[in-house]
Chains A and B, each alone.
Chain A
Amino acid sequence: MPDEKDSRTTPADAPEANGNKLRVIGVPRRRVDARAKVTGQTRFADDIFLPRMAHCKLLRSPHPHARIRKIDTSRAAAHPGVYVVLTGKDVPIQYGILPVSQDEQALCVDRVRHVGDPVAAVVAREELTAFEALDLIDVDYEILTTISDPQEALTTPEPRIHEYGEEGNIHKLVALEFGNVEEGFAEADEIFEDTFFFQGNTHLPIEQHASVAIKDPEGKLTVWSSTQTPHYLHRALAKVLELPAAHIRVIATPNGGAFGGKSDPFNHEIVVAKAALLLDRPVKICLTREEVFYCHRGRHPVLMKFKTGVKRDGAITGMHLQTLIDGGAYGSYGVASTFYAGALQTTTYHIPRYRYQGCRTFTNKPPCGPKRGHGTPQPRFGQEVQLDKIAERLKIDPADLRLRIVESSNSVTANFLQLGTVNLAECIRRVAKVSNWKEKFRNLPEGHGVGLACSAYLTGAGLPIYWNKMPHSGVQLKFDRSGGVTIFCGATEIGQGSDDVLAGIVAEVLGIDTFDIRLFTGDTDLGPVDLGSYSSRVTLMAGNAALQAAERGKAILREAAAEKLQVPKERLCFAGKRVFDSAAPEKGLTFQEAVCLAEARFGTIGTVGSYTPPTSPALYKGGGVGPSPTYSYSAAVVQVEVNSVTGWVTVPKVWIAHDIGRALNPTLVRGQVEGSVYMGLGEALMEEQEFRRLPKKLSHALVHKFPSILEYKSPTSLDMPEVVTELIEEPDPRGPYGAKEVGQGPLLPIMPAVANAVYDAVGVRIDEIPVTPEKILKALAEKKAGRDPRFGPTDFPHIHWPEALRVPPPWEGGDGHAVNEVPRRQKSRQEKEKVLAS
């Protein structure tokens, strides 16, 4: 194709001979998959059509909690056009993303735990036929008591939704204490106690989950799926289908948005795999939007209480955070989410003593899991709103207060998180400057306000989901006589640009163009393992692996080229698709010639690279959640206009500064920041995953309030404000070319910044997300009546917390271990077996 050659050329073509200048990295450029995406040729899972392909639909429970007495599939199986009907007995083995929560079955065998839990699958010639046949399946349910929220879960130990967990319907309890927090409170000049609630919300990727499975010509299984974690799906399929993992190939198709919602292994993926093996023909499933709401794994609703002690100058002396987390019907990532809800508080500001108590309960709702920011946006909201209150009471500007207490680079926090570069202060200064913060704060006319908030996020989880010592990311490179280079990597393109990151790094090292590179990613057969596109890990981890593989390839080429050109190796420069003498740039070879010379000398050229995160100093139990090679930082200022008659909030403008380390492709980085702002505004102002009870005479069931895009409100382009993005670039030595994450961090400050801006505008505190007009009007009414001008939870329920694991912080001589042994609750035999089986 002769098209777009001129405009897509990357700066690798630049003829400059300066060996140190970056030509690809840091330069805004067209991403490698842009052409496929603007022409509609990117092949998402549901775009796969194969000969003889059958279609699958799932029968889902209409009840939130019930025992399955009997399933009769005979009428459905006899329906014309139906190939097979599956039930739980066909795929009974339990699985789950975490080894400690193997609590799901692809089709429920004897119990359903939320509306939408699948109980049977129909595979038919046409999708509509499968759908019709669902009506012909007879399920006899025995209705069980329904648990609707964590408070109810705490007071209703029976019936248990699961036979494992702490006790009753408590899934997980966490209690950690880093230093004596009571001493910290005793040293404080002021103590602040605030409760907050963050309603759950869902990812809302526009691509609905889809999967296609085949028994390939060799009799092995291949599954294409819209998954962020092909490696974990691979493991789950091997377990449930009892097949050798080597006989399963998972191909993660590019995801049409994911945001964490496609990172669990899903029942529909297992069902189509089983059906394809049984039928020996391709089987496809594509969920409806309603079903995507049932899959969920979104933001946990969290009730939280912050108790924070501060000195008059703003220094924090101690913090105690308690969370009560609504987990929904399954474990999913929930144990990790419970730890995450308390893990990152210490990464932004210096907190010398810190206690965290978290409680996740099971409820009869679609399971919650990881959504962009995984477990951390909720407490970040509470912490940042409380800081706004602290600043007001201490009469310190909120930006200045934060600048006084920001953590410094390379420090180790109270909970033993090893920080990398910390440019939060620069983020705050920059965002305050570009937004004219000082002029606006508390000075805008009534109804107009600005709010500031900050955040931090992981650049990749420091530990894998299942314990092992292998690399987290691997990359293989193939150097071709054509001068082309091929990248093989398990990393999954979910829109964030991971393919372009890999290509950009390899192109930079080898001095070629990103469009000279082919990529095979997200395929468990073709590429070495990458753990998946979650926890903002791909740029740093797969990027470092790519960097290592490329440097190794470059060394081989350099050896051959130096000999041919009779130039010392260290003088050779790779740029502009050439290998040349930096002292005499005209003396050189084309990149292709260099590859051919190297192949002639060394044989077929392929290199590998891999990445394993550094060991974390957090050695206590539970210290596995929170560590990361480095953390990104963000600061945002949101401006709002609040209509005091209707309570309606509009956001005219958002300013955000993000500590990215280095922007590998600024076009992608800015896209991630703007997308985060968009998603954050949706969470802040309108998105909520709400449930309601049907009337008693109508089964009293707990149903989803709005499982459709029609009623689940999310912002549109008409709601989207102008966004000013400032990138703070100080390369972090831990990242490839200094890069840190950007996919999740910039979301986090938006929600608290909105709440703080609403307070600046109309003087009411909305201590609950989303900040809806209704809540603002209620708080304004309180204000008018002379009462506390606030809307939000007032108390936190009593929870029987276990004794805290006490870990002295580094400045008290702690070595990362706990000083006490906490007696483990006696685990049930069944639970032990489950863990062993995983």
Chain B
Amino acid sequence: MSPLPIASQKTSQIRFTLNGEETDVSFAPYKTLLEVLREDLFHTGTKHGCELGECGACAVLLDGQPVLSCLVLALECGGRQVLTVEGLGEDGHLHPLQDAFADLGAAQCGYCTPAILVTAKALLDQNPHTRSDSRSDFRKPVPVHRLLADFRSRGSRHAQDRRPKK
């Protein structure tokens, strides 16, 4: 038998916790966490937009911290906790952030939404008192500061349609 091209050789293997579930995966050693999540584990909720660590669309939580999964080798993730958008909801319910994003029109095309959601979750986990002026806390360009403010203060379902404050 002739040797397989390197890209077809799934010679690396890790065990890690993906969205709370112990997971074994075999993959070609050069692959990033993003590629393994999408191509080997079919968790396609996490997106790619630049493969350069610039756009932020591939953000996931690694041990609770937001990371750009296009810049993390899957080989670095053995034994660690990875949370993607697929793991955000609990017991069949949307996470409150997902609920708020859906109600407030935060998801338009929805392509960056998974990354914004997990980043927002990390922010709120670290600082439950985050307010709208905390946008510099975000590591990546995610336009959620006003949404979070709305989310926290909204008394009605459609806070974004209240008259803007003068």
Residues of chain A having any CB pair with chain B under 8 Å: 1-4, 7-8, 28-31, 33-44, 46-47, 49, 79-81, 124-129, 132, 205-208, 254-258, 288-289, 434, 494-497, 666-668, 670-671, 675, 678, 708-710, 716-718, 720, 722, 724-725
Minimum CB–CB distance for B166 against chain A, Å: 8
Partner of B49, one of A34, A80, A289, A666: A289
Q: Are A717 and B110 in contact, CB atoms less than 8 angstroms apart?
A: no
A709–B166 Cα distance when bound, in Å, is 36
Give the distance in Å from the alpha carbon of A38 to the alpha carbon of B113 in the complex: 6
> Which B residues are CB-close (under 8 A) to A46?
44, 48
Q: Would A671 and B108 count as touching, CB distance under 8 A?
A: yes
> Which of the residues A3, A29, A33, A81 comes within 8 Å of B94, measured between beta carbons?
A3
Complex contacts, B157 vs chain A, CB 8 Å: 7, 28
Query: Does B158 contact A126, Cβ atoms closer than 8 Å?
Result: no
- Contact yes or no, B45 A39, CB < 8 A: yes
B67 at the interface (CB under 8 A from A): no
Number of A-B residue pairs, CB cutoff 8 Å, is 188
Collect the chain A residues with CB atoms within 8 Å of residue B92's CB.
1-3
Say yes or no: A41 contacts B45, CB within 8 Å.
yes
Chain B 133-166: CB-based contact to A (< 8 A → 1; otherwise 0): 0011010011111100000000001101100101
13 other contacts beyond A40-B46, A257-B109, with CB at 8 A cut-off? A37-B109, A38-B98, A80-B3, A81-B7, A129-B7, A132-B7, A206-B49, A207-B109, A208-B48, A288-B51, A670-B105, A717-B135, A718-B135
How many whole Å from A289's CB to the nearest CB in chain B? Answer: 5
Q: Which residue among A40, A124, A125 has the maximum number of chain B CB atoms within 10 Å of its CB? A: A40
Contact B4 A80 (CB under 8 A): yes
The answer to the question of B8 belonging to the interface, with a C-beta cut-off of 8 Å to chain A, is yes
**Which chain B residues (57-92) contact chain A, with CB distance < 8 Å?**
57, 84-86, 88-89, 92
Question: How far does the alpha carbon of A649 sit from the alpha carbon of B49 in the complex, in Å?
Answer: 28
The answer to whether A8 and B102 touch (CB under 8 A), given A38-B113, A206-B112, A256-B109, is yes
* A-contact bits for B37-53, CB 8 A (1 contact / 0 none): 01100101111111110
* Residues of chain B with a CB closer than 8 A to A495's CB: 108-111
Q: A38-B101, A254-B109 are in contact. Are A708 and B2 (CB under 8 A)?
A: no
Tell me whether B104 is interfacial, beta carbon within 8 Å.
Answer: yes
Question: B-side interface residues toward A, CB under 8 Å?
Answer: 2-8, 28, 30, 38-39, 42, 44-52, 54-55, 57, 84-86, 88-89, 92-94, 98-99, 101-114, 117, 135-136, 138, 141-146, 157-158, 160-161, 164, 166
Q: Which of B7, B52, B103, B107 contacts A708 (CB 8 A)?
A: B52
Q: Is the pair A44, B8 in contact by a Cβ cutoff of 8 Å?
A: no
Partner of B54, one of A49, A670, A708: A708
CB nearest neighbor in B for A289 = B50
Contact A257 B111 (CB under 8 A): yes
**A39 lies within 8 A of B89 (CB):** yes
Shortest CB–CB separation between residue B149 and chain A, in angstroms?
A: 11
Contacts of A494 in B (CB 8 A): 109
A residues in contact with B89, CB < 8 Å: 3, 39
List, sorted by A's number, 22 A–B pairs whose CB atoms are closer than 8 Å: A3-B92, A30-B102, A33-B110, A35-B102, A36-B110, A37-B113, A40-B44, A79-B5, A80-B3, A80-B4, A125-B5, A126-B28, A128-B7, A257-B111, A668-B105, A668-B108, A670-B105, A678-B143, A709-B54, A710-B50, A716-B141, A717-B141
A207 close to B30 (CB less than 8 A): no
Asked if B8 and A126 sit within 8 Å, CB to CB, the answer is: yes
What residues of chain A lie closer than 8 Å to B108, measured between beta carbons? 495-497, 668, 671, 675
Closest A residue to B105 using CB positions: A667
Taken together as a complex, chains A and B put the C-alpha atoms of A47 and B57 apart, in Å, by 14
For the complex of A and B, the 3 pairs showing the least CB-CB separation, nearest first, are A40-B45, A495-B109, A37-B110
Contact B55 A206 (CB under 8 A): yes
A3 → chain B closest CB, angstroms: 4
Q: Which residues of A contact B4 (CB under 8 A)?
A: 80-81
Q: Which listed residue, B2, B88, B107, B146, touches A80 by the CB 8 Å rule?
A: B2
A81:B5 contact, CB within 8 angstroms: yes
B8 touches A129 (CB 8 A): yes
Complex CA distance for A42 and B46, rounded to whole angstroms:
11
Report how far A528 CA is from B137 CA in the complex, Å. 48
Main secondary structure of the interface of B (DSSP, over half): loop
A675 to B103: give the CA distance in the assembly, Å: 17
Contact of B55 with A724 in the complex, beta carbons under 8 Å: no
Question: How far apart are the CA atoms of A671 and B106 in the complex, in Å?
Answer: 8
Measured between C-beta atoms, what is the minimum distance from A39 to chain B in Å?
Answer: 7
Chain B residues within an 8 Å CB radius of A717: 135, 138, 141-145
Let me know if A28 and B161 touch, CB within 8 A.
Answer: yes
A28 & B160 in contact (Cβ 8 Å cutoff): yes
Min CB distance A287 to B, Å, is: 11
- Which of B47, B106, B145 gathers most chain A CB within 10 Å? B47
| Contact partners of A35 in chain B: CB under 8 A | 94, 102
**A238→B92 CA distance, assembly (Å):** 44
User: How far does the Cβ of B26 sit from chain A's closest Cβ, in whole Å?
Assistant: 14
Assembly CA distance A498 to B117 (angstroms): 23
Please give, as numbers and ranges, the residues of chain B lying within 8 Å of A33 by CB-CB distance: 110
A131 to chain B: closest residue by CB: B7
The residues of A that contact B44 with a CB separation of less than 8 Å are 40, 43, 46-47, 49
Chain A nearest CB, measured from B40 CB (Å): 10
Residues of chain A within 8 A (CB-CB) of B109 are 37, 205, 207, 254-258, 494-495
Are the CB atoms of B99 and A4 closer together than 8 Å?
Answer: yes
Cβ contacts under 8 Å, A708 to chain B: 50, 52, 54
Residue of B nearest to A3 (CB): B93
Q: In the complex, A667 Cα to B105 Cα: how many Å?
A: 6
When C-beta atoms are compared, the residue in chain A nearest to B108 turns out to be A495
Chain B residue at smallest Cβ distance from A717: B143
- Residues of B near A42 (CB, < 8 A) are 110
Min CB distance B12 to A, Å, is: 14
- Which residue of the partner chain A has the closest CB to B39? A49
A33 to B2, CA, bound (A): 48
Cβ-neighbour of A709 out of B2, B8, B55 (below 8 A):
B55
B48 touches A7 (CB 8 A): no
Query: What CA separation (Å) do A126 and B5 show in the bound complex?
Result: 9
Which of B39, B89, B98, B136: most chain A CB closer than 10 A?
B98
CA of A494 to CA of B108, assembled, Å:
8
Contact indicator B51/A126 (Cβ below 8 Å): no
A206 touches B94 (CB 8 A): no
A769 to B105, CA, bound (A): 31
B110 touches A709 (CB 8 A): no
Contacts of B146 in A (CB 8 A): 722
What residues of B have a CB within 8 angstroms of the CB of A127 in the complex? 7
- Contact between B114 and A40, CB atoms less than 8 A apart: yes
Residues of B within 8 A of A81 (CB): 4-5, 7-8
A256 touches B47 (CB 8 A): yes
Contact of B93 among A4, A30, A256, A670 (CB under 8 A): A4
Contact of B107 among A37, A49, A716 (CB under 8 A): A37
The answer to whether B42 and A49 have CB atoms under 8 Å apart is: yes
Contact of B50 among A41, A667, A709 (CB under 8 A): A709
A39 in complex: contacting residue of B5, B50, B86, B164, CB < 8 Å: B86
